[in-house]
Amino acid sequence: MAMRSESRVETEVEAEESFGPQPLSKLEAEAAKLVPMGFTTATEFHQRRAEIIQISTGSKELDKLLQGGIETGSITEMFGEFRTGKTQLCHTLAVTCQLPIDQGGGEGKAMYIDTEGTFRPERLLAVAERYGLVGSDVLDNVAYARAFNTDHQTQLLYQASAMMAESRYALLIVDSATALYRTDYSGRGELSARQGHLGRFLRMLLRLADEFGVAVVISNQVVAQVDGAAMFSADPKKPIGGNIMAHASTTRLYLRKGRGETRICKIYDSPCLPESEAMFAINPDGVGDAKD
């Protein structure tokens, strides 16, 4: 009896071993249909790039600088000092993304994660009136959430994924992406943990941009540069987040103050846009062109 029992066990183990890899290979095959995991031609990739939508910033000069506007399917980072127009751009984009594509929009809803308590629906209504949109409809098409710490900020992305699977979203805004990291991880000894957590958050944003084709816009703050390079820099400020933020962001925009309500946007880093600048203005009805 003991020998039969051992034989039966060996047979079951062999069956499990032969059965194990098969469902995995089927899963891999199905996954490959959804997400291309091999090589493709540059022609096919170029055709996919042609499907990307550019969302207007509200300023013709700024759109010209960006060769059409904020790009869907990637992360655009805006960084600068206080009152340089980051939040105002976010508010304007939350409305313009709802416009028809032929009017510079994305024909989709906006999702807004607010980490600093600076979201104001009144600004959306002013921008909506400028574009002739119904204010109540515009507000209904913006999903808003206030994040209170870095874990909550990350948890909101899981909810965002579920919502994007059910409805058409064109834009995801995180204003600001790094503010809570500065408060939750304030000590030098926590730098490694902070960067690891931030890296996971940014990877989740990248996956949302890839999977749902949304434009991801994040605002970022700056700190004074205190290393040796600052001595030779005309503007010794650098964005928070280090290399992790730099590698995650497809396009990086540096905003700074001009005269009065005018602001200057510089292409800080981009895979396809040349380094250049454009002026824009912060008006009562959102971001627009600077007057001469």
For the residues 74-79, what does the mean pLDDT come to? 97
Task: Please name the residue ranges forming H helices in 97-190.
Answer: 121-130, 135-140, 150-166, 179-184
pTM of the model: 0.84
For 77-88, the DSSP string reads EEEESTTSSHHH
pLDDT band at residue 46 under the 50/70/90 scheme: confident
* Closest CA relative to residue 179, chosen from 274, 113, 256: 113
- Read off the pLDDT of residues 175-192 as tens digits, 9 standing for 90 and up: 999 999 988 998 778 888
Query: Does residue 141 register a pLDDT over 60?
Result: yes
Handedness of CA 188, 193, 199, 202 (dihedral sign): negative
**Residue where the block lists tokens 């655009």:** 76
CA–CA separation, 1 and 17 (whole Å): 24
**Rounded alpha-carbon distances, angstroms, from residue 289 to 103, 110, 196, 262, 284:** 17, 23, 39, 9, 12
As a whole number of angstroms, the distance between CA 198 and CA 194 comes to 6
My answer on whether omega of the bond before 136 falls inside 30° of 0, hence cis, is no
Q: Mean pLDDT over all residues of the chain?
A: 88
The encoded tokens of residue 182 equal 């500065």
Percent of the chain with pLDDT strictly greater than 70 = 83
CB-CB contact of 121 with 143 (8 Å): no
User: What is the b/e burial string over 185-215, where b = at least 16 CB atoms within 10 angstroms of the residue's CB?
Assistant: beeeeeeeebbebbbebbebbbebbeebbbb
* DSSP-derived secondary structure letter, 261: T
- CA gap 86, 220 in Å, rounded: 8
Q: 2 pLDDT exceeds 80?
A: no
Take residue 21 and report the two structure tokens written for it.
Answer: 């890899």
Q: Which of 220, 222, 253 is nearest to 57 (CA)?
A: 253
Model pLDDT for residues 232-263, shown as the tens digit of each residue:
556 668 898 889 999 999 999 999 999 988 99
In sequence order, what are the residues at sequence separation of 6 or more whose Cβ sits closer than 8 angstroms to the Cβ of residue 165?
A: 212
| Burial category of 160 from C-beta neighbours within 10 Å (exposed 0-12, middle 13-18, buried 19 and up) | buried
Task: Name the CATH topology of 53-289.
Answer: Rossmann fold (3.40.50)
- The amino acid that residue 236 corresponds to is P
Residue 9 has a pLDDT of: 46
- Please give the biggest Cα pair distance in the chain: 97
